[in-house]
Structure 1
């Protein structure tokens, strides 16, 4: 399998990797500029010539994966005794992170807006779980990289999401929306939580959540209505674009920051004014 095929396969499966490329080599070395190696957390594909240089490059790549770095990196290795070479010289190596998800997203609801939204999210550097109890609501073709989850007890899926996840709730049932909201707010470790609905729905939910003992500062973290207000329209795709834009704005503003319990990460996003169905 070529490195191109390997990258495509890893992207399809949502597995992060680092593409390592020899950019320039000087001196009497057996390495060829343009040689590539793909490094994942537990495997390597292709080679940049083996030896100590490849070992060091693999270590740097895995450090980048562990830190979830999104930045490309150039390293200049001086060849000689330190790299086990008999001759001097230098090699410049480019490290390019690939497929590192900016956000882990749980989308609850496979209705009209969900079907418009999920393909947009799938085209972003995000890991998406699409959750509903109704199998017949999902389209026949699920976007590549999206995990379809059918569960009669959709609330149970919240516990499986990592800290700092994004939650988008847009089910067919207001009571289910409320129960999902309560469970997400109970965790209170999310980077983003959006609930589809109008300002009236928000007021009703806030009242019911207060009755359940939730503090105002916790409830305030809920985005309802969700989406960027400047994106107008009532069509499912228009609402979906608005929500996707808010997701992008959130992870651009906060990715790489530790999400502390109760912290409002979406603080840089303007409040939405659009009424949602």
Structure 2
């Protein structure tokens, strides 16, 4: 994933000094692709670069850096000979130490790329590499993480897809917990019942307000999942949703419920092609009807359309939504 400055700043604020470990080059078979990163601090960590001996050794290196080692380190390793991992590929790992001062001083030369020297012996930045970064910045295709002559260029994480879950019942809360760790989503769980918003997982924002409040404040390319405890409220939210822009609209329910809703939405003045912007039922029937199973199906449905390894936003076509 791209460099997430906000997540790094949050970790530093919570834990003080933090080491960031990132795979910058991958050749052959490896547990995770280039750009995968994790954060390590005294007594804890978040994320994973694939587990196994590679991750264990990287965490040891990060711990040594936190104890006073160099601010950055570049390591190359063959996973088979050096790590006894069956993947057999080779990786280049960059480990960097950050504290509040270094996070505050992160350069902003480019709005979408973080460029810095990661090798203490790196020569001055080559003109050809700077020209490549200049061309990539602001382009339509995100830059892939690139190591060149001891200098590292990483795309900066851009605002991710907003996902608004209307209803914090069994399925809604389960869906929020499944989506919360995924960096490509910013999850909002909306419900006018305050008790249902207790103990939210990290990364999930709660909206304790009447039904529809979170819908009206949502971004135009947000994904919406409607699953309130009352069909009348579901219908009202569908009616309101069809009056605004959105990327994905999903309604929990059966084929029978959706047939009735289509008729009632038509009576409210919505054309068939507009009503078809909402997907119902949602999830994967073969997973079953347990709340967790439904939530897994819905999350799978969303992940099929959301690019997981880039920060590119897409608008889903009706054909894709109903596939």
Give the Å deviation of 1:149. Answer: 0.8
Which segment is superposed worse, 250-259 or 201-210? 250-259
Q: Please list, as runs of the form range in 1=range in 2, the aligned pairs for 1:31-42 lying within 5 A after superposition.
A: 34=94
Give the Å deviation of 1:97. Answer: 3.9
Give the Å deviation of 1:9. Answer: 3.8
The reply to whether residue 207 of structure 1 matches residue 263 of structure 2 is: yes
Q: Please list, as runs of the form range in 1=range in 2, the aligned pairs for 1:57-96 lying within 5 A after superposition.
A: 60=133, 72-74=144-146, 76=148, 91-96=149-154
Q: How far apart are the structure 1 equivalents of 2:203 and 2:196?
A: 19
Relative to 1, partners in 2 of residues 1:165 and 1:11: Cα closer, same or farther, differing over 3 Å? farther
Q: TM-score by structure 2 length?
A: 0.58
Q: Tell me what 2:307 maps to.
A: 252
What do the CA deviations read for 1:206-236 (whole angstroms, capped 9, x no partner)? 0111011101011112111111334x21111
Q: How far apart are the structure 1 equivalents of 2:202 and 2:277?
A: 31
Relative to 1, partners in 2 of residues 1:257 and 1:7: Cα closer, same or farther, differing over 3 Å? closer
Give the Å deviation of 1:96. Answer: 3.4
Q: Tell me what 1:175 maps to.
A: 232
What do the CA deviations read for 1:26-84 (whole angstroms, capped 9, x no partner)? xxxxx9855858667889999638xx859x97x959x76x66966523264xxxxxxxx
Q: Give the gaps of 5 or more residues in structure 1.
A: 14-18, 24-30, 77-90, 272-277
Q: Tell me what 1:16 maps to.
A: none
Q: Please list, as runs of the form range in 1=range in 2, the aligned pairs for 1:78-227 lying within 5 A after superposition.
A: 91-97=149-155, 99-100=157-158, 102-125=160-183, 126-138=185-197, 140-152=198-210, 154-187=211-244, 189-227=245-283
The answer as to whether partners of 1:105 and 1:165 remain within 8 angstroms in 2 is yes
RMSD, aligned CA: 4.4
The answer as to whether partners of 2:180 and 2:201 remain within 8 angstroms in 1 is yes
Q: Give the gaps of 5 or more residues in structure 2.
A: 14-20, 26-71, 75-93, 97-101
Q: TM-score by structure 1 length?
A: 0.67
Q: How far apart are the structure 1 equivalents of 2:206 and 2:269?
A: 33
The answer as to whether partners of 1:20 and 1:95 remain within 8 angstroms in 2 is no
Q: Please list, as runs of the form range in 1=range in 2, the aligned pairs for 1:230-269 lying within 5 A after superposition.
A: 230=286, 232-252=287-307, 256=312, 259=315, 264-265=316-317, 267-268=319-320
> How many residue pairs align between the two structures?
232
Give the Å deviation of 1:251. Answer: 1.1
SS at match of 1:94: strand
